[in-house]
Structure 1
Amino acid sequence: MSESLRITASSVDPALLALPWSTPLADWPSSDIVYLPKGISRHLVRFSTLSGRVVAVKETTTEMARREYDMLGNLARLDVPCVERIAAIGGRTDANGKPLPAALVTAHLKFSLPYRALFTQVLRPDTAARLVDALAVLLVRLHNVGFFWGDVSLSNTLFRRDAGAFAAYLVDAETGELHDAGLTRGQREHDLDIARTNIAGEIMDLEAGGRLEGGVDAVEIADGIVSSYYSLWSALTDRETFSVDESWRITERVQRLNALGFDIGEMSMQTTPDGTTVSIQPKVVDAGHHQRRLLRLTGLDVEENQARRLLNDLDEFRARVSRPGADEEMVAHEWLTRVFEPVVKAIPFDLRAKLEPAEVFHQVLEHRWYMSQARGRAVPLAEVLTSYIDDVLRHRRDEATVMGPPTETMSIPVLRSPSGADETAEDVDWRDLV
């Protein structure tokens, strides 16, 4: 390893020094490579392990590696969904002293997948629409903090399942610009036009490869991000006017934004000189209303839709077991220990890489609803769990960070979970699953 190697990181992991930086990334030995599904990138990207976790290594220029490293740090501080930066590596040379490209190291987002890996054979219209909707939410959040992406696409995004929908994360920020004064309408529309063009091209590429369900219109799917974006942006920023005796509409506006996953940090209200009407407009909006409530009550850090679903179950539990003097925090702790944790612990260890715990819990609730509808009666949760594990979960492919056989194709490898001792279904007290 060259003595001129330069590592930029907020905290340097000594394991970084053990990676073969004096070897071109394309030639890294298989012992240093983790084979995971990955999206299409203009740069070479490979996965490796670092102190027990999986990281993505991208070769690029020194300037771009440092710029993207800084940008990801800024976006993280603004609480924008994006991959976590690890380090920027410069000063690489091979054994003969020949310069090698710089590298950006980021943490692999657990349970996330590129869009091509989210469907097994062909992309169905409903899946495509949900992916585009998730990307629209991400783009609104980025624009709301003044970030111009410049290369919006499905390929530059990672997706995680979120209670039947998807949550999108920015994975490539090298073309991005952060504007403290916010974005102009023209900048936002330019980003949106880039998104529409790129998405149409990506969907057409799937169509050319026979991976698009018949009758699906690529342009129509791409147009969907425009309508989704403007609908959400309007809900966040439009000024609303109503009469003074309709003040309840202020609460309604807040609840509508909360339902979209946003909180109001500040709101501007003005009355007309004659006092007959009131005009309101959100000034600062932030995402994660349900996430923060669930985190405060239970310590669970999950996606927004998952948080909403878990909170609904918590509130139903509270209605069933409510006792005089029991505050929300006490009931939340009881729900966590009597309902959520037993369900998670009931999942056999070899199946835990299938989905993250919050998504499993959401799907168990869905499965209970369908079983109860079919039987015309409430089905005990313990019975639902057994059915879900045997009939649903066992047949899913893993979505955690796990290693598979070497492949250089876009096909998805057979994913395997590591083995080891842990709690199994037999460790759970089934009496708690009421």
Structure 2
Amino acid sequence: MALHVVAARTDPALIRLPWSRPLADWEDWHVVPLPLGLSRHVVRVVQVSGQFLAVKETEEAMALREYDLLRDLQRIGQPTVVPRGVVTGRVDADGAPLPAALLTEHLHYSLPYRTVFQHGLRTEQVPALIDALVVLLVRLHLAGFFWGDVSLSNALFRRSAGGFAAFLVDAETGELRASVSDAMREQDVLVGTENIFAELMDLAASGDTDAQVDGHAIVTQLSERYHQLWAELTAAEEFGADEWSRIEQRIARLNELGFDVDELDVRADSDRVRIQPKVVEAGHHRRELRELTGLLVEDAQARKLLNDLAAFTAHGGYDRDDRKDVAQRWLTNVYTPIIGLLTGDLRARIAPAEFFHEVMEHRWRRSEELGHEADIFESARDYVATVLPHRPPDMPPSMT
């Protein structure tokens, strides 16, 4: 058999990895010590040409199928890890076949759920973690993706404005189709509640967290939040023919949730109007922030940054100025200088947009203590000196 590499971008360094050995036997100098989630496959993270790749051993057909699925999901803008390639035709020194390997880019500043808990997740933060998985599942269903194995282990989590954003990391059981039926959606929710309950009970039994985990309450929350969000995004709404403002109100509610309405079905007769979103796309706030500033961050982070931009506009008396000009002024005079405090190894501890959010939260607490509004730059320096060194890092120093 000949080694065969299918890759989105060819890199000769990939060939030089020790593919003739089982992944479990790769030496430390090949492997980057990063926290990994639970998996039924052997998974390692390696550094290739300055990039960090997750390598998963699996069957050839499954590796190729998952690679294609992830590429399709990436093309339609879904929150997944980025597929980089599949290696097949592996044999050991004696000529015995070895499993194929799926390569994906490591998602910077992301953590598996067990590491999130181990890093001091508080009891009151657990619902935010579940909400992130709910949003991920709803987004995938809206895109026509049936997951098949919903679980915390099959996702990665990135901190986002005090909450979390979830990303699909394991798609091997999934199917991408024109739409997902109600029965398939309910199957995903059911499997998710069963898997997550088991994961949380195992986590509690392991002693790896100080958070109080009520498995029954959490899986009930998952089901309820899923159905609430799905209804808000897709349900039809009827109102009187003299209440056309209800259309704007419905769109505003969806925008608050972080979704844009790309297509709306409106039907009216003599005295009633019926509206139903037909195409809904996530990322409302992050698209608005990117258009204004060029920053690409998570949606919850974008919402917080837009709020700070609005405060900057009001305090500076820039209400009548061009919004893009004001945004560039805020970027130059506020955001960039504060992010500039993340030097050296500090960059490994926290993503820039999350750092800015936490500085704003720190400023609010200092203002409460001082009895007047604290300066944001002094607050940022105080946060770097007193809080950040004790904060669990979201990315180990080996990745800087």
CA contact under 8 A between 2:117 and 2:211: conserved in structure 1?
no
Judge conservation of contact 1:91–1:99 (CA < 8 Å) in 2. yes
Pick the aligned partner of 1:314 from 309, 318, 321. Answer: 309
**5+ residue gaps in structure 2?**
none
For the residues of structure 1 that align with 2:387 and 2:318, how far apart are their CA atoms? 36
Tell me the residue number matched to 1:261: 258
Distance 1:386-1:120 versus aligned 2 partners, 3 A rule: same
The 1:291–1:33 alpha-carbon spacing in structure 2 relative to 1, beyond 3 Å, is: same
Alpha-carbon offset, residue 15 of structure 1: 1.3
Question: Are residues 1:248 and 2:245 paired?
Answer: yes
In structure 1, what is the Cα distance between the partners aligned to 2:319 and 2:220? 53
Query: Could you tell which deviates more after superposition, 385-394 or 333-342?
Result: 385-394
Structure 1 residues 366 and 287, CA, compared in 2 at 3 Å: closer, same or farther?
A: same
**Distance in 2 of aligned mates of 1:90 and 1:305:** 40
Contact 1:158 1:168 in 2 (8 A): yes
CA distance in 2, matches of 1:157, 1:207: 19
Cα RMSD between the aligned structures? 1.6
Q: Which residue, out of 62, 65, 76, partners 2:63?
A: 65
The yes-or-no answer on 1:368 pairing with 2:363 is yes
CA distance in 2, matches of 1:401, 1:85: 22
Match of 1:425 in 2: none
Tell me how far apart the structure 2 counterparts of residues 184 and 155 of structure 1 sit (CA, whole Å).
Answer: 24
> Is contact 1:291–1:307 with CA below 8 Å preserved after alignment?
yes
Gaps spanning 5+ residues in structure 1: where? 404-416, 419-434
Deviation at 1:402, TM superposition (A): 3.7
1:350-389 per-position Cα deviation (integer Å, ceiling 9, x unaligned) = 3121110000000111111111122221111222112111
1:81-230 equivalences in 2 (<5 Å) = 81-120=79-118, 124-180=122-178, 182-213=179-210, 216-230=213-227
- The equivalent of 1:294 in structure 2 is 289
| Native 8 Å contact 2:111 2:157 kept in 1 | yes
Deviations 1:6-38 (A, max 9, x none): 111122112111111111101111110101111
Q: Matches of 2:121 and 2:294 in 1, distance apart?
A: 36
- Residue 111 of structure 2 aligns with an amino acid whose one-letter code is L
Helix, strand or coil for the counterpart of 2:150?
Answer: coil
**Retained in 1: the 8 A contact 2:129–2:164?**
yes
Amino acid at match of 1:367: H
CA contact (8 A) 2:196 2:219 kept: yes
Tell whether the 8 Å contact from 2:8 to 2:83 is kept in structure 1 after alignment. no
Matched position secondary structure for 2:326: helix
Contact 2:67 2:102 in 1 (8 A): yes
Q: TM-score when scaled to structure 2? A: 0.97
Aligned to 2:78: 80
* Among candidates 229, 232, 242, match of residue 232 of structure 1: 229
SS at 1:30 equivalent: coil
Considering Cα pairs closer than 8 Å and 6+ residues apart, tell me whether 1 or 2 has the greater RCO.
Answer: 1
Shift in CA distance, 402/105, structure 1 to aligned 2, threshold 3 Å: farther
Mapped to 2, the partners of 1:308 and 1:37 lie a distance apart of 29
Question: CA 1:402 to 1:68, structure 2 compared with 1: closer, same or farther past 3 Å?
Answer: farther
* Cα distance in 2, alignment partners of residues 113 and 325 from structure 1: 43
Q: Kindly indicate whether the alpha-carbon contact (under 8 Å) linking 1:121 and 1:211 is maintained by their aligned counterparts in 2.
A: no
TM-score using structure 1 length? 0.89
CA offset at residue 243 of structure 1? Answer: 1.3
Q: Report the Cα distance in structure 2 between the residues aligned to 1:172 and 1:292, rounded to whole angstroms.
A: 26
| 1:34-59: CA deviation from partner (whole Å, max 9, x where unpaired) | 01111100100011001101110000
Q: Is 2:131–2:222's contact at 8 Å kept on the other side of the alignment?
A: yes
8 Å CA contact retained: 1:160, 1:166: yes
Q: Which whole-Å deviations, capped at 9, do the CAs of 1:61-100 have from their partners, x for residues lacking one? A: 0001100000000000111100000101101111221111
The one-letter code of the counterpart of 2:141 is: H
Change (3 A) 1:214 1:254: closer
2:375 to 375, 380, 391: 380
Contact 1:130/1:165 (CA < 8 Å) preserved in 2? yes
Question: Displacement, 1:324?
Answer: 8.1
Q: In 1, are the aligned partners of 2:7 and 2:86 still within 8 Å (CA)? A: yes
Counterparts of 2:169 and 2:182 in 1: how far apart (Å)?
24
Greater shift in the superposed pair: 383-392 or 152-161: 383-392
> In structure 2, how many angstroms separate the alpha carbons of the residues matched to 1:323 and 1:169?
37
Q: Is the 8 A contact 1:54 1:401 kept in 2?
A: no
Residue 214 of structure 1, CA deviation: 7.3
Check whether the contact 1:111–1:356 (CA below 8 A) recurs between aligned residues: yes
Deviation at residue 213 of structure 1 after TM alignment: 4.6
Q: What does the per-residue CA deviation read over 1:248-274, in whole Å, with 9 as the maximum and x for residues that have no partner?
A: 1111111110111110000011112xx
Mapping of residues 327-338 of structure 1, within 5 Å: 327-338=322-333
Give the counterpart letter for 2:217 in structure 1. Answer: E
Q: Distance in 2 between matches of 1:326 and 1:271?
A: 40
Looking at structure 2, the residues matched to 325 and 215 of structure 1 have their Cα atoms a distance apart, in angstroms, of 50
